Chains A and B, each alone.
Chain A
Amino acid sequence: MKKLNFILAALLGLGLNYTNAQTQKGSVLIKNATVLTVTKGNLENTDVLVQDGIIKQVGKNISAPSGVQTIDASGKYLMPGIIDAHSHVALDVVNEASAPIVAEVRMKDVVNPFEIGIYRALAGGVTISHAMHGSANVVGGQNATLKHRWGAKDPADIIMQDAPRTIKFALGENPTRVHGRGNNIQPRTRMGVEAVLRNGFNEALQYKKEWANYNAAKSQKGNTATPPVYNERLQTLADILDGKIIIHCHSYRADEIYMLINVAKDFGITKLVFQHTNEGFKVAPEIAEYTMGASVFADWWAYKMEVYYSTAFNAAILQRNGAITSINSDSAELIRHLYHEAAKTQRYGGLTDDEALAMITINPAKQLGIDDKVGSIEVGKQADLVIFEGHPLSSYTVPQMTFVDGVKYFDIKSDPDDQRQFVSATEMVEPIFLRTEEDHQCMQDVDAYFEAFQGAFLEEKH
Chain B
Amino acid sequence: MKKQFLKAGIVGLLLSGFLSSTVWSQSDPTGKRRISDTYAITNATIFAGPGQQGTKGTIVFREGVILGMGANLSIPKEAQVIMGDSLFIYPGFIDGAGTMGITKPKDPERPKDFVSSNPPDEIAGITPWRSATDQFAITGNQVDDWRKTGFTLSQVLPEGGMIPGRATLMVLGNSSSVNVLVENTGIAATFSGSRSMYPATAVGVMAKFRDVYQNTSLALDHSKLFASTSGIKRPEMTPTQTAMAAVVQGQLPILFRAESDLEVRRAISLQKELGFKLILTGLENYENVIDLIKSSGTPVLIKLEIPDDKAVKNQKDEDVTEATKAQYARVKEAYEKALKQASLLEKAGIPFGFSTADTKPGDAMKAIRTMIQNGLSEKAAMAALTTNPASILGISRLAGTIEKGKMANLVISTDSIFKEDAQIKHVVADGFIFDYEVKKKSSNANGKTEGGPSPITGVWEYTSETPAGSSGGEITIAKTGSEYSGTITYDDPSGAGKVSAPIKNVALNGKTLTFQFDVNAGGMSLTVDISGEINGNEMEGTMAIAQFGSFPLTAKLSSPSKKH
Residues in chain A within 8 A of chain B (CB atoms): 2-3, 6-7, 9-10, 14-16, 18-19, 92-93, 95-100, 102, 104-107, 109-110, 112, 133, 141, 153-155, 179, 183, 185, 222-224, 226-232, 417-418, 420, 423-428, 430, 445, 448-449, 452-453, 455
Contacts and interface: CB of A to CB of B under 8 A. Distances in A.
Contact of A10 (B199, B214, B314, B330): B214
Given A112-B262, A425-B331, A445-B201, A230 B195 contact: no
A92 B330 CA distance: 23
A153 B331 contact: no
B479 interface: no
A185 B197 CA distance: 13
Contacts of A110: 202-203, 206, 266
A224 B204 contact: no
A10 B273 contact: yes
A125 B269 CA distance: 31
A423 B201 contact: no
Contacts of B266: 109-110
B272 interface: yes
B385 interface: no
Contacts of A105: 203-204, 206-207
B215 interface: yes
Contact of A185 (B117, B193, B248, B310): B117
A413 B217 CA distance: 56
Contacts of B311: 424-428
B327 to A, nearest CB: 6
B272 A18 contact: yes
B22 interface: no
Contact of A230 (B218, B225, B312, B523): B218
A110 B206 CA distance: 9
Interface stretch (B94-102, B227-235, B364-372, B444-452): B227-235
B435 interface: no
A453 to B, nearest CB: 4
B514 to A, nearest CB: 18
B68 to A, nearest CB: 47
Given A417-B323, A417-B326, A426 B307 contact: yes
Given A423-B330, A425-B338, A448-B195, 10 more contacts: A6-B274, A9-B273, A102-B204, A106-B207, A107-B203, A109-B203, A109-B206, A109-B269, A428-B314, A449-B201
A307 B310 CA distance: 48
Contact of B218 (A102, A154, A227, A425): A227
A424 to B, nearest CB: 7
Interface in B268-304: 269, 272-275, 288, 292
A2 B248 CA distance: 11
Contacts of B330: 418, 420, 423
B183 interface: no
B72 to A, nearest CB: 51
A153 B288 contact: yes
A104 B207 contact: yes
Nearest to A103: B207
A227 to B, nearest CB: 4
Interface in B229-268: 229, 231-233, 235, 248, 261-262, 265-266
Contact of A226 (B193, B217, B222): B222
A106 B308 CA distance: 35
A184 to B, nearest CB: 9
B291 to A, nearest CB: 10
B204 to A, nearest CB: 4
B551 interface: no
A418 B273 CA distance: 37
B311 to A, nearest CB: 4
B115 A95 contact: no
Q: List the 8 closest pairs (A to B, CB-CB), nearest first.
A: A99-B117, A452-B196, A98-B198, A96-B204, A425-B335, A425-B334, A230-B214, A452-B195
Contacts of A427: 311, 331
A456 B211 CA distance: 31
Contacts of A445: 200-201
Contacts of B229: 222-224
B323 A6 contact: no
B118 interface: yes
Contact of A231 (B199, B211, B522): B211
Contacts of B312: 425
A95 to B, nearest CB: 7
Contacts of B197: 98
Given A18-B269, A418-B326, A420-B330, A232 B200 contact: no
B117 A179 contact: yes
Contact of A153 (B199, B218, B261, B326): B261
Given A15-B273, A16-B269, A96-B199, A418 B327 contact: yes
A223 B228 CA distance: 11
Contacts of A223: 225, 229
A232 B203 CA distance: 14
Contacts of A18: 269, 272-273
B333 interface: yes
Q: Which residue among B201, B266, B310, B523 has the maximum number of chain A CB atoms within 10 Å of its CB?
A: B201
B231 A92 contact: no
A112 B116 CA distance: 28
13 contacts: A3-B275, A15-B269, A92-B262, A93-B201, A99-B117, A105-B203, A106-B207, A110-B203, A223-B225, A426-B307, A428-B311, A430-B327, A449-B196
A109 B193 CA distance: 14
B397 interface: no
B347 interface: no
B360 interface: no
Contacts of B85: none
A6 B217 contact: yes
Contacts of B265: 154-155
B221 interface: yes
Contacts of A7: 214, 217-218
B200 A96 contact: yes
Contacts of A104: 207, 210-211
Output the residue of A18, A223, A423 with the most chain B CB within 10 A. Answer: A423
Contacts of A153: 261, 288
Interface string B331-347: 10111011000000000
A320 B331 CA distance: 53
A133 B202 CA distance: 13
Contacts of A107: 203
A177 to B, nearest CB: 15
Contacts of B326: 417-418
Nearest to B223: A226
Contacts of A227: 218, 221-222
Given A9-B273, A153-B288, A425-B331, A232 B207 contact: yes
Given A96-B203, A226-B222, A425 B307 contact: yes
